[in-house]
Structure 1
Amino acid sequence: MLKQSSLAETIDLLSKLIVFNSYDFQAFLNKLIRLILKIIPVESCLIYFYDREKKELILIASKQPHQKLLGKIKLKWGEGITGWVAANKKTAVLTKQAYKDNRFKFFKELPEDRFEAFLSVPIIDREGVVGVINLQNKTPFQFTKDQVRGIEAVVKIIASAFEKIALERKVDHLKMKLEERKIIERAKGILMVEKNIDENKAFALLRTEAMQKRKTLKDIAEAVVLVYGITLPQSNQS
């Protein structure tokens, strides 16, 4: 059970999480980690976001100072304990020797992360899993039923925030694709005028250049626009 002072702080943290500002998602995640560690005081807390477009679980927050690894540690659906929890929509509780579990995935980027105790809880919204929260301890830790239920209760409350960020990422992805398409279309139009070629040949030229220079189509298109775009009227470009 939480002490009176800890309970008051926990309630305060939870109330701040409920008033979620999607423009400061990282601050939200930091508060979430603080709240979780108030309920279960273990050594490590990791939060994964499930990217439905790429079908990957991506590390987006951590108690440990792994800033360089945020966004880089990724798990496929069903991979590791985290992926298993997401795929099965079930909490996994391992009180000792978690690293010996056949589902456990060891990351060479985190050589110090060899844990005994492991609690993994799925974050589920109306459309399914949107993330996973992992709690880890380097020595055996007896997670109580109340502690596990407490984390599961918090997860239900904050699932809507993850749903919002999932929708925002989807919108951002579509916007990025639209902007990419616009710049490629403009570059094609420029090449058609400058080199007197048709649209198919202009696109083939962009694609060949991208392959040879190991760049994206967007990078090559932006270079074309930068070099030629200023001298051509907008009406000549798609």
Structure 2
Amino acid sequence: MPSDERLEVLGEIIKVFGAGLELKPLLNAIAAAVARLTGADSCLIYVMDPTSRELVLYGASSPHPRHIGRIKMKLGEGITGWVAERQSVVAIPARAYEDERFKFFHSLPEDRYEAFFSAPLVASNGQLLGVMNIQHAQPHEHTREETELLLALANMVARAIENARMYVEAKQRAKHLEALFRLARVVDNHRGVVDEALTFIGQMLEDILGVPTCRVLVYEPEKQRFQGPRGMRIRPSHPLFDRLLRSQGPFVYEDSVGVVPLRFGRQCVGAILAYADGGLDDSTLSLLGDLSTHVAAFLRTILLEAEVRRAREALEVRKVLERAKWVLIERRGMTEADAHRWLQQTAMQRRIPLRQVCEAVLIAEGLWQTEGDDVAQASRPPADAPAE
């Protein structure tokens, strides 16, 4: 292939990488572009199923609709499984079908192809993601230059699979959290940020219990603290901290504070602290305990809603980030790692959100949508890029 045409095809591959995050259509498009770039007759991309630990055919340069998702190999099975198990490259110039490791499928025309190049697809953390096979119908010597190109492409495919999986996980997490939120949603008359919700519940309890001060705190296990409105916190160093995590019911602290741990099932989600001069009488403390189940459910609902919102925002940021990286790779000649690093460093240096930097890149390149369009629309590829 002439160098000008090769550069053109390489540009198409870069566009494919930035075009979408749905795995199967993405890998089909990548396989077709890789086959064209290398002059191969076939490119097959297998992805490791993390559950079954099998290699599943996910992408093919030639139309194989009946086989996508159905052809599977175990580690060590066939040349593909051998490459996956050892994470080593195999290059056979001719009669690959005579190799003792070769596995016949009979339904694939590639079974009789002569040359076979297979490379593992490895994540940045060293985890096996899959295998990419390049095949020629006629004998073909894999030159050093071509081998380096194929390994570079394999690395790009691995990054694409990583990004696609993160996208799928973020989308599934958002759906899962939204489902949990709907199940847990028993009160819908107050929606807002967590701090506002805590203030609202505290004021409501003050009215119901007839106490001058009532505070509701949410437990943040990742930060090891109970967090309340207006900066109120209970940290592990406070005598109440361990007792709140251990206690199953209301108790009195220092004679004047009624304390109720809030539990959703076995999980501690927060606490109620009610202050009264002279302390709380038994009936008030008992009522507070009775109300705690409903408050815990309400608090759990608010926390789930906030987490769903964060998951959705993370998903939108991921879309804009991938779009901005594609722009820097395509139009600025950066590698994916350099593009990602540049976006992060720019955000830190200017002390602005990463999403804002990504949007600025798209605006600068004239790829941002008109006013009123949401981020999902802005994250779409240009018209000449392959569809997802």
TM range (shorter): 0.5 to 0.7
Mean CA deviation greater in 46-55 or 167-176: 167-176
Tell me which stretches of 4 or more aligned residues in structure 1 moved more than 4 Å: 167-178
The match for 1:71 is 69
Letter matched to residue 123 of structure 1:
L
| 1:140 alignment counterpart | 139
Q: 1:113: how far off?
A: 2.3
Cα distance in 2, alignment partners of residues 52 and 118 from structure 1: 26
Residues of 1 paired with 2:131 and 2:147: CA distance? 14
Most deviating of 88-97 and 120-129: 120-129
Distance 2:168 2:55 in 1: 14
Number of the residue aligned with 2:80: 82
- In the alignment, which residue of structure 2 is the partner of 1:7? 6
Q: Note if contact 2:32-2:62 (Cα within 8 Å) is conserved in structure 1.
A: no
Match of 1:159 in 2: 158
TM-score normalised per structure 1: 0.65
Correspondence list, 1:223-234, <5 A: none
Matches within 5 A, 1:107-122: 107-110=105-108, 113-122=111-120
Deviations 1:10-44 (A, max 9, x none): 33123213425213x34422331233123321211
Q: Paired residue for 1:53?
A: 51
Change (3 A) 1:174 1:121: same
State which drifts further: 36-45 or 86-95.
Answer: 36-45
Q: Distance in 1 between matches of 2:170 and 2:51?
A: 12
Which amino acid in structure 2 is aligned with residue 165 of structure 1? A
Distance 1:17 1:64 in 2: 17
Question: C-alpha deviations, 1:177-230, integer Å up to 9, x for none?
Answer: 99xxxxxxxxxxxxxxxxxxxxxxxxxxxxxxxxxxxxxxxxxxxxxxxxxxxx
2:91 alignment partner in structure 1: 93
Residue identity matched to 1:160: R
Specify the alignment match of 1:32 in structure 2: 30
| Runs of 5+ unmatched residues, structure 2 | 178-388
Task: Tell me whether 76-85 or 168-177 shows the greater mean CA deviation.
Answer: 168-177
> Please, which moves more after superposition, 28-37 or 62-71?
28-37
Given that 1:39 and 1:151 are in contact with CA atoms closer than 8 Å, whether structure 2 keeps it comes out as: no
For residues 171 and 91 of structure 1, do their structure 2 counterparts lie closer, same or farther at Cα, with a shift above 3 Å needed?
Answer: same
**Which whole-Å CA distance do the structure 2 matches of 1:171 and 1:53 have between them?**
18
Contact 2:110 2:135 in 1 (8 A): no
How many residue pairs get aligned? The number is: 177
Answer whether contact 1:57 1:131 (CA < 8 A) is retained: yes
User: Percent identical across equivalent pairs?
Assistant: 32
**Post-superposition offset of 1:5:** 2.7
Q: TM-score, normalised by structure 2?
A: 0.41
1:120-176 C-alpha deviation (Å, 9 max, x unpaired): 111110241111111112221111111111011122123222113344566788999
2:112 aligns to what SS in structure 1?
coil
Q: Which consecutive unaligned segments of at least 5 residues does structure 1 have?
A: 179-238
Q: How many angstroms apart in 2 are the aligned matches of 1:141 and 1:62?
A: 20
How far apart in 1 are the matches of 2:53 and 2:172? 14
Partner Cα separation in structure 1 for residue 154 and residue 112 of structure 2: 25
Q: Tell me which amino acid in the other structure corresponds to 1:150.
A: L
Give the conservation status (yes or no) of the 8 Å contact 1:130–1:166. Answer: no
Equivalence for 1:192: none
- After TM superposition, the structure 1 stretch with the greater mean CA deviation from structure 2, 86-95 or 131-140, is 131-140
Three-state SS of the structure 2 residue aligned to 1:141 is: coil
Query: What secondary structure is seen at the aligned counterpart in 1 of 2:28?
Result: helix
Q: 2:169 and 2:72 mapped to 1: Cα distance?
A: 18
